[in-house]
């Protein structure tokens, strides 16, 4: 469960200076943000059931300030993609991500969202990081509520370390105009071929 590296914070000394006020303000703003993340649940499969269990009374996601499910992307802070994403849903997921206002984060919940999981076939996206940028990957099939909560806590750690002076983390990522993808096609092919090139295999062995 790794954190994808953000760009190095740009030095703000030259532009105005990072002084006691801005760093205090950083920690205040980050504290407020991390304790009031509003999730946009994008549940497509069994992970969504486990996500509901996480939000329900026993595990109680409200303890982390996440009890307000935002079913509109325009009022959401964190996209939780729970479940497999077929190719037909890929443009929908990307549009939802683009509709979310900055600052925004993304949790990829479960094996299928993170890597395609067992669905290594013609219909399923091999990891949503090929469509949208992902902050935290939660493994599991599906992850237990504790697993998702650990992912949420990791995301909160990440939010806590951000600087207001760093503009890079607020910049909307633009897909490459030629391919329409965020990451190079070769990288996608490499990411989504964990067992070598089986494109030429057929089920019938013909």
Partner 1 sequence: MTSSPPVVRGGGATAAAPVTPHNVPREGAPANPTAAALRGKFGDAIRRVEVIWGETTVYVAREQLLEIVRWLHDDPEQQYDYLSDVTAVEFRDPERPLEVVWHLRSLPRRRFLRLKVELAKGAPLEVQSVWPVYRGADWLERECYDMFGIRFTGHPDLRRILMWEQYREGFPLRKDFPLRGRFSRAEQLRQALAANPEARYSMEELSIADAFEDLPDDMRQRLRAGERTGE
Residues making contact with partner 1 (CB under 8 A): 87-88, 90-92, 94-95, 120-123, 125-126, 130-131, 175, 179-181, 185-186, 188-189, 191-193, 198-206
**In the bound complex, what is the minimum distance in angstroms from residue 122's beta carbon to partner 1?**
4
**In the bound complex, what is the minimum distance in angstroms from residue 5's beta carbon to partner 1?**
23
Nearer to partner 1, 28 or 118 (CB): 118
- Based on its alpha-carbon atoms, the radius of gyration of the chain, rounded to whole angstroms, reads 18
Of 128, 129, 135, 133, nearest in space to 155 by CA: 135
Residues pairing with 137 in the sheet: 108
Cα 62 from chain centroid? 20
Nearer to partner 1, 114 or 156 (CB): 114
Nearer to partner 1, 16 or 196 (CB): 196
> How far apart, in Å, do the first and last CA atoms of the chain sit?
40
Nearer to partner 1, 32 or 92 (CB): 92
**In the bound complex, what is the minimum distance in angstroms from residue 93's beta carbon to partner 1?**
9
Of 70, 125, 119, nearest in space to 99 by CA: 70
Alpha-carbon torsion angle 113, 115, 121, 123, nearest 10: 30
The full length of the chain comes to 206
**In the bound complex, what is the minimum distance in angstroms from residue 114's beta carbon to partner 1?**
15
Q: What's the CA gap between 84 and 86, in Å, rounded?
A: 6
Nearer to partner 1, 5 or 180 (CB): 180
**In the bound complex, what is the minimum distance in angstroms from residue 129's beta carbon to partner 1?**
11
């Amino acid at each position: 469960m790794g954190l994808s590296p953000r760009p190095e914070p740009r030095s703000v000394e030259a532009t105005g200076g990072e002084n006691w006020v801005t760093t205090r303000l950083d920690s205040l703003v980050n504290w407020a943000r991390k304790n009031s993340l509003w999730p946009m649940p994008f549940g497509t499969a069994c992970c969504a059931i486990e996500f509901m269990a996480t939000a329900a009374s026993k595990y109680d996601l409200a303890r982390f300030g996440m009890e307000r499910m935002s079913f509109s992307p325009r009022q959401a802070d964190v996209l939780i993609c729970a479940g497999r994403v077929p190719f037909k849903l890929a443009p929908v997921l990307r549009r939802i991500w683009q509709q979310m206002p900055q600052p925004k984060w993304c949790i990829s919940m479960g094996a299928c969202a993170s890597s395609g999981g067992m669905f290594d076939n013609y219909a399923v996206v091999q990891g949503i990081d090929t469509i949208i940028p992902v902050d935290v990957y939660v493994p599991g099939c599906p992850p237990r509520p504790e697993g998702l909560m650990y992912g949420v806590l990791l995301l909160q750690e990440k939010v806590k370390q951000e600087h207001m002076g760093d503009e890079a983390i607020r910049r909307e990522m633009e897909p490459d105009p030629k391919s329409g993808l965020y990451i190079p096609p070769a990288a996608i092919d490499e990411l989504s071929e964990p067992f070598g090139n089986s494109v030429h295999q057929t089920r019938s062995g013909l």
